[in-house]
Amino acid sequence: MGGEAGARLTGHLGMQASPDTILRLVHRLPLPRSDPPRAVGIDDWAIRKGRTYGTLLVDLERRCPIDLLPDRSGVTVAAWLRRHPGIQIVARDRSTEYARAVSVGAPAALQVADRWHLLLNMRQALERWLGRVHGRLRQLPALPDGDGRQPGERLRAYHRSAAEIATSLDSRARRLMSYEDVRQRHLAGETLLAIARATGLARATVRKYTQAESFPERAIRRPNPSRLDPYLAHLEHRMAEGCENAMALWREIRGQGFAGTHRQVHRFVAERRAKPAPRTARKWLPLTGAPSAKLVKAPLPSPKQLAWILVQPNATRPPRATADLGRIRQDAEAAQVADMALRFTMLIRACGLNSERPADAAGELDRWLLEARSCGVAALETFAAGLAQDRTAVQAALTTSWSNAQAEGQISRLKMLKRTMYGRASFALLRRRVLIAA
Q: What is the pLDDT of residues 280-337, one digit of tens each?
A: 555 555 544 444 444 445 678 889 999 999 999 888 888 888 889 999 999 999 999 9
Beta strand 89-92 with 39-48 is parallel
Q: Which of 31-45, 112-126, 210-224, 338-352 has the lowest mean pLDDT?
A: 210-224
pLDDT at 2: 64
**Which range, 134-143, 146-155, 217-226, is most confident?**
134-143
Q: Which of 20-34, 88-102, 155-169 holds the top average pLDDT?
A: 88-102
pTM above 0.85, yes or no: no
Distance CA 378, CA 385 (A): 10
Mean pLDDT of 385-390: 94
HEC states along 148-202? CCCCCCCCCCCCCCHHHHHHHHHHHHHHHHHHHHHHHHHHCCCCHHHHHHHHCCC
**41-93, pLDDT tens digit by residue?**
999 999 988 889 999 999 999 999 999 999 999 999 999 999 999 999 999 99
Q: Write out the H or E segment, with its range, that includes residue 117.
A: helix 115-138
* pLDDT digits 0-9 by tens, 25-36: 888 988 888 889
Contacts of 397 (CB under 8 A, 6+ apart): 112, 113, 114, 115, 118, 348, 351, 403
Least Cα distance to 305 among 225, 219, 223 occurs for: 219
Residue 284 CA to residue 276 CA, distance in Å, equals: 9
pLDDT surpassing 90 at residue 110: yes
Amino acid symbol at 183: R
The domain covering 39-113+403-436 belongs, at the CATH homologous superfamily level, to Ribonuclease H-like superfamily/Ribonuclease H (3.30.420.10)
Collapsing DSSP states into helix, strand and coil, what is residue 299?
A: coil
* CB neighbour list of residue 274: distance below 8 Å, 6 or more residues apart: 244
Query: For 194-241, how does the pLDDT look when each residue is reduced to its tens digit (9 = 90+)?
Result: 999 999 999 999 999 999 888 988 877 667 778 888 888 898 889 888
Q: Which DSSP string corresponds to 352-382?
A: STTS---TTHHHHHHHHHHHHTTSS-HHHHH
Q: CA-CA distance, 256 to 374, in Å (whole number)?
A: 59
Q: Which of 24-38, 147-161, 217-231, 362-376 has the lowest mean pLDDT?
A: 147-161
Do the bridges between strand 64-69 and strand 89-92 make them parallel or antiparallel, or are there none, so unpaired? unpaired
Side-chain-side CA neighbours of 215 within 13 Å: the count stands at 12
How far is 99 from 92, CA to CA, in rounded Å?
A: 8
Sorted by sequence, the CB contacts under 8 Å of residue 294 that are 6+ apart come out as 272
Secondary structure element (H or E) that encloses residue 65, with its range = strand 64-69
Q: Which helix (H) or strand (E) holds 97?
A: helix 96-105
In whole angstroms, give the CA distance from residue 215 to residue 182. 11
* Model pLDDT, residue 412: 93
**5, 27, 30, 35: which is closest to 18 by C-alpha?**
5
The predicted pLDDT at position 162 comes to 75
Q: Answer yes or no: are the C-beta atoms of 102 and 109 closer than 8 Å.
A: yes
Q: What are phi and psi of 432, to 5 degrees?
A: -65, -40
Q: What is the DSSP letter of 58?
A: E
Return the amino acid letter for 121: N
